[in-house]
């Protein structure tokens, strides 16, 4: 037996979809009717007042079926409108976060490529610090090893402070990202104050000063590490000469 032509298959699928939609609509209508039938006349009138359709209800002593027949189309319309509102809300939600995900995917790859050299330098510096701390410990200078670790802590604090500044620029005041950043000190300075004027624009110099202080402390500690290691080498050389 030959298969039916493609146009016939498409027609059958279309008819199946129409029947499915009709069945779903009928099931929804039956659910509304069953729900209304399970309510008392007092509850039905209270529901009509909540829907703003109290004026459309029959007056006087009426049968429950008349109230249900009058209220059912209104309730179906309200539920259809609520479903449409929910559908639009989900569509807006999916569109918004879909665009955000697309933007992240679009811009993250160039940023990762651009920062690859920086990440490689950071990894190399970290490995060098670890090797230097181990060497200082084996050379018999726990003080130099501790100072090397302290320089790493200065670097970590500097990176964290810079990241906090960047997040404070882009994140809203109620963003969850602000829970993971450090509270920034404030030292606002108007650049136009040098000319005796006011521009209405202020620059917070406190993070810059904090980063400079951390850099200066790192340099001082690094120089102290160098002096300590030099002293250790001289002492070890003198000890080897004595043993020889």
pLDDT (tens digit, 9 = 90+) per residue, 113-168? 767 777 787 788 888 888 888 888 888 888 888 988 999 898 888 888 888 888 77
As for how many domains the chain has, the answer is 2
Regarding whether 218 and 166 lie in a shared domain, the answer is yes
Residue 105 sits in the same domain as residue 45: yes
User: What pLDDT score does 29 carry?
Assistant: 52
Residues comprising the chain, all counted: 244
Structural domain for 103, as ranges? 7-112
Is the pTM above the cut of 0.95? no
Residue 131 lies in a domain: no
Please identify, among 76, 94, 112, the residue that sits at the C-terminal boundary of a domain. Answer: 112
Q: Say yes or no: 14 and 104 in one domain.
A: yes
Does any domain span residue 153? yes
Q: Look at residue 161 and tell me if it is in a domain.
A: yes
Q: Both 12 and 99 in a single domain? A: yes
In a domain, 21, yes or no: yes
Last residue of a domain, one of 60, 92, 112: 112
> Which residue has 């259809």 as its token pair?
80
Sign of CA dihedral 120, 122, 125, 131: negative
* pLDDT reported for residue 178: 73
Q: What is the 3-state secondary structure (H, E, C) of the chain?
A: CCCCCHHHHHHHHHHHHHHHHHHHHHHHHHHHHHHHHCCCHHHHHHHHHHCCCHHHCCCCCCCHHHHHHHHHHHHHHHHHHHHHHHHHHHHHHHHHHHHHHHHHHHHHHHHHHHCHHHHHHHHHHHHHHHHHHHHHHHCCCHHHHHHHHHHHHHHHHHHHHHHHHHHHHHCCCCCHHHHHCCCCCCCEECHHHHHCCCCCCCEECHHHHHHHHHHHHHHHHHHHHHHHHHHHHHHHHHHHHHHC
Whether residue 133 is contained in a domain is answered as: no
- 98 inside domain: yes
In a domain, 122, yes or no: no
User: Do 90 and 39 belong together in one domain?
Assistant: yes
Return the higher-pLDDT residue of 132 and 170: 132
Verify that 61 and 148 share a domain, yes or no: no
The verdict on 18 and 95 lying in the same domain is yes
Q: Which of 92, 112, 132 is the last residue of a domain?
A: 112
């Amino acid at each position: 037996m030959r298969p039916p032509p493609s146009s016939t298959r498409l027609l059958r699928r279309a008819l199946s979809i129409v029947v499915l939609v009709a069945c779903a609509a009928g099931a929804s209508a039956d659910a509304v009717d069953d729900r209304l039938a399970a309510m008392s006349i007092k509850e039905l009138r209270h529901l009509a007042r909540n829907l703003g359709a109290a004026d459309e209800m029959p007056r006087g002593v009426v049968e429950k079926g008349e109230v249900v027949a009058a209220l059912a189309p209104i309730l179906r319309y309200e539920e259809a409108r609520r479903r449409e509102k929910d559908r639009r809300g989900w569509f807006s939600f999916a569109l918004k976060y879909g665009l955000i995900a697309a933007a992240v995917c679009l811009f993250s790859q160039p940023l990762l490529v651009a920062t690859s050299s920086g990440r490689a330098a950071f990894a190399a510096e970290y490995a060098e610090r670890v090797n230097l701390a181990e060497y200082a410990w084996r050379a018999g200078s726990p003080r130099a090893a501790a100072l090397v670790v302290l320089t790493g802590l200065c670097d970590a604090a500097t990176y964290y402070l810079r990241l906090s500044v960047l997040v404070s620029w882009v994140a809203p005041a109620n963003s969850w990202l602000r829970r993971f950043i450090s509270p920034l000190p404030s030292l606002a300075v108007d650049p136009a104050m040098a000319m005796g004027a006011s521009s209405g624009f202020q620059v917070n110099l406190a993070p810059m000063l904090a980063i400079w202080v951390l850099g200066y402390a790192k340099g001082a500690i690094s120089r102290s590490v160098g002096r300590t290691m030099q002293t250790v080498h001289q002492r070890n050389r003198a000890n080897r000469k004595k043993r020889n």
